[in-house]
């Protein structure tokens, strides 16, 4: 890789770092190409990118962005996964894949301005997906409105029932 290619790669990495909500570092020593391709496919379905990176180039990008504390995750061959929308899905896929493939070792990462550890990634992977959380929130918001509508409908129904009872009593 010549100097021009390195500069282009640094610009691409910088763009990914600025657009991502989260990025996760992992080691892949001993992982076969077919397994990495499978992982990329699984991540792509969740709209998450994965790239094998040169540590020296990533260190330059981190230094430019003031994220020097993330250099601790750059030891040996490094794969970088980034999520632009849902960081939970990235964590879920990586944790599940790491369970099946011991050669993939999660190291840590960055989530919306904060450094996260392996334990944090595992906790993140246990969370429900964004869609499930949105559905639960919507259900919680609809419940009071539904209950209120039932109460309002019950008042006229009770009145009609009472009037019918009076009518039958007089008849």
Q: How far apart (Å, rounded) are the C-alpha atoms in residues 153 and 4?
A: 72
Residues 123 and 134 in one domain: no
Task: Kindly report the backbone phi and psi dihedral angles of residue 156, in degrees, each rounded to the nearest multiple of 5, phi listed first.
Answer: -65, -35
Residues 150 and 105 in one domain: no
pLDDT of residue 148: 66
Residues 104 and 136 in one domain: no
Q: Which domain holds residue 133?
A: 128-171
Residues 105 and 22 in one domain: yes
User: Which whole number is the average pLDDT over 137-156?
Assistant: 71
pTM: 0.73
pLDDT of residue 96: 93
Tell me the pLDDT tens digit for each residue of 79-109: 999 998 888 889 999 999 999 999 999 999 9
Our count of domains for the chain comes to 2
Asked if pLDDT for residue 167 goes beyond 80, the answer is: no
Asked if pLDDT for residue 15 goes beyond 80, the answer is: yes
Distances (CA, A) of 31 to 25, 79, 100, 101: 15, 11, 11, 8
Residues 161 and 140 in one domain: yes
Residues 137 and 110 in one domain: no
Domain CATH for 96? 3.30.70.1730
- Under the banding of pLDDT at 50, 70 and 90, the label for residue 145 is low
Tell me the pLDDT tens digit for each residue of 46-79: 899 999 999 999 999 999 988 888 999 998 999 9
Tell me the pLDDT tens digit for each residue of 115-136: 999 999 998 888 877 777 778 7
């Amino acid at each position: 890789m010549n100097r021009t290619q390195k500069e282009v790669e640094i610009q691409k990495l910088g763009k990914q770092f600025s657009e991502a909500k989260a990025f996760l570092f992992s080691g892949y020593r001993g992982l076969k190409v077919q397994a990495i391709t499978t992982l990329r496919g699984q991540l792509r379905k969740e709209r998450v990118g994965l790239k094998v990176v040169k540590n020296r180039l990533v260190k330059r990008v981190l230094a430019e962005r003031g994220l020097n504390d993330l250099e601790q995750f750059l030891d040996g061959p490094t794969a970088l996964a980034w999520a632009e929308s849902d960081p939970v899905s990235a964590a879920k896929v990586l944790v599940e894949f790491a369970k099946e493939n011991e050669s993939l070792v999660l190291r840590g990462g960055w989530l919306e301005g904060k450094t996260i550890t392996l334990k944090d990634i595992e906790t993140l992977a246990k969370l429900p997906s964004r869609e499930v959380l949105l559905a639960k929130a919507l259900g919680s918001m609809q419940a009071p409105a539904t209950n209120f509508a039932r109460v309002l409908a019950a008042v006229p129904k009770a009145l009609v029932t009472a009037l019918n009872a009076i009518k039958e009593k007089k008849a």
